[in-house]
Amino acid sequence: MNTIVLQAADWLSLFVHYASLSLLCVGGAITTAPDMHRFLVQEKAWLTDPQFSASIAIAQAAPGPNVLFTALMGWNVGLNAGGLWTAALGMVLCLGGIMLPSSVLVYLTAQWSHRNRDLRAVRAFKQGMAPLVVALLVATGWILATANGYAWANWPAWAVTLVTTLVVWRTRVHLLWLLGAGAVLGWFGWI
Amino acid sequence: MSSPSEALAAPLTARPKSLTDLFVSFTLLALQGFGGVLAVVQRELVENKRWMTKEEFIEEWAVAQIMPGPNVINLSITLGARYFGLRGALVALAGMLTFPLLVVLALALVYAQFAANPQVAGALHGMGAVAAGLITATGLKLSSALKRNVMGLALCVALGVAAFVTIAWLKLPLAWVLVVLGGIGCVTAYRKLAP
């Protein structure tokens, strides 16, 4: 573990940086990860490259919202700066910063649009966006499935994705059985 | 006057019984969501608990998607606020984050020992392939709601295919796609909804 020293002003700038990214992360917090890398690893050297990558990998392997990768980054910065207490502080600052501005905005918008749900413009927005909502979900699935490129050697993983798609679409099998099956196939190196 | 989707939905949908019910439900949702919580949210809230219809889910998701911030977090805030106001939003958010945060920290603490294990890496790879299928299937399931869209099915399919191609194949920035294709959709829907 490398040791760094953070002053009060540094903790504040950590919070402010994440809070400023909050309103920029349209399409998920992960889209601002490159800027977090620039700030934490390159500019401030508060986090090493492997720590940065591990924070994202672990949060994606764990259940729950992917935004928790920001909590792990804050946790690791805090660990580098001292011990468990600073780690907890870093976690709260990063997660709080990335969520607070956008959450307040979303809450106000949700309340407003629910009160005005019969307004022609609100209904037009929701109806007009519906095809894109559906398409974005399918596109996300496609991007995840082809994350390792289009090489033909990936066909077993594509087959698993295709079978999962059909099973979930057409049946009511519990999703955890499917994830478990995927984990077993991967554990034995079959995909 | 209530909108058509609500009038249809009224006899079908239930709602969370209490703030505790909301917290427990969202905690369980989050803990089942490997590689993205959205598939689980759709399965549980729309198909099992019937807290909302497919159409309502798409509408809320459209707002959650277009707003800045993590999508699933935005959706939790929206749903919580809808049932119990500000308290509901905070409780749904707490449910989504509290236990998953503890799990992630626990994983981070043991990660160092298992990171190099090829079987663990393989299992994660396998779960990733399944997660890609879960999210695709969620989109396909919701697509049946487009049949009742005011723009008509043909235009919905055209906009959907264009959005898929520009995002998944051409990798254009999401903001541009939402502004251009979403703009076409919203203007068309606005004209069709003319009183």
**pLDDT interval class at B5 (50, 70, 90):** very low
- Beta partners for A63? B34
How many domains, in total, are found in chain B? 2
Q: Which one of A47, A118, A123, A126 would you mutate to disrupt binding with B, by most B Cβ within 10 Å of its Cβ?
A: A126
pLDDT of residue A45: 93
Q: What is the chain A residue with the closest CA to B174?
A: A27
User: Do B134 and B156 reside in the same domain of the chain?
Assistant: no
C-alpha torsion angle, residues B22, B23, B25, B27 (rounded to 10)? 160
Tokens of A14: 């950590």
Q: Point out the domain boundary residue: A111, A136, A154.
A: A111
Q: What is the chain A residue with the closest CA to B166?
A: A139
Q: A168–B93: do the CB atoms touch at under 8 Å?
A: no
In this complex, which of B62, B74, B126 lies closest to A160 when CB atoms are compared? B126
User: Do A33 and A96 reside in the same domain of the chain?
Assistant: yes
Q: Point out the domain boundary residue: A89, A111, A133.
A: A111
pTM (two decimals): 0.82
User: Do B65 and B155 reside in the same domain of the chain?
Assistant: no
DSSP character at residue B81: H
Give dist(CA A59, CA A39) in Å, integer. 20
Number of Cβ pairs closer than 8 Å across A and B?
364
User: Could you say which residues from 57 to 76 on chain A have a Cβ atom under 8 Å away from some Cβ of chain B?
Assistant: 58-68, 71-72, 75-76
User: Do A107 and A150 reside in the same domain of the chain?
Assistant: no
Instruction: Please report whether residue A166 resides in a domain.
Output: yes
State the residue for tokens 């076409």.
Answer: B184
What is the domain range of residue B179?
Answer: 149-195
Q: B71–A27: do the CB atoms touch at under 8 Å?
A: yes
- Of B144, B42, B126, residue with least CA distance to A164: B126
Q: A114–B131: do the CB atoms touch at under 8 Å?
A: no
User: Do B153 and B73 reside in the same domain of the chain?
Assistant: no
- For chain A of 191 residues, list the mean pLDDT of each consecutive stretch of 10: 81 94 78 86 90 82 88 93 92 95 93 90 90 88 83 91 94 88 92 83
User: Do A77 and A170 reside in the same domain of the chain?
Assistant: no
User: Do B122 and B155 reside in the same domain of the chain?
Assistant: no
Which ipTM value was assigned to this complex?
A: 0.83
Instruction: Please report whether residue A62 resides in a domain.
Output: yes
Rounded average pLDDT over B133-147: 90
Is residue B28 predicted with pLDDT exceeding 70? yes
User: Do A33 and A87 reside in the same domain of the chain?
Assistant: yes
Tokens of A89: 């502080």
Instruction: Please report whether residue A117 resides in a domain.
Output: no
What is the domain range of residue A49?
Answer: 8-111
DSSP secondary structure string for all residues of B52-68: S-HHHHHHHHHHHHHSB
**Alpha-helical runs (H) found in chain A:** 8-22, 33-37, 49-61, 68-81, 84-115, 120-145, 155-170, 175-187
User: Do A107 and A154 reside in the same domain of the chain?
Assistant: no
Signed CA dihedral, B129, B133, B139, B140: sign only: positive
Q: Tens digits of per-residue pLDDT, B35-87?
A: 678 888 889 999 999 999 998 899 888 888 888 888 889 999 999 999 999 99
Q: First vs last Cα of chain B: how many Å apart?
A: 13
Rounded average pLDDT over B8-18: 70
pLDDT of residue A172: 86
Q: What is the chain A residue with the closest CA to B79?
A: A110
User: Ranked by mean pLDDT, which of A89-98, B45-54, B114-123, B172-181 comes out on top?
Assistant: A89-98
**pLDDT interval class at B1 (50, 70, 90):** very low
Beta-carbon count within 10 A of B70 CB: 27
User: Do A99 and A154 reside in the same domain of the chain?
Assistant: no
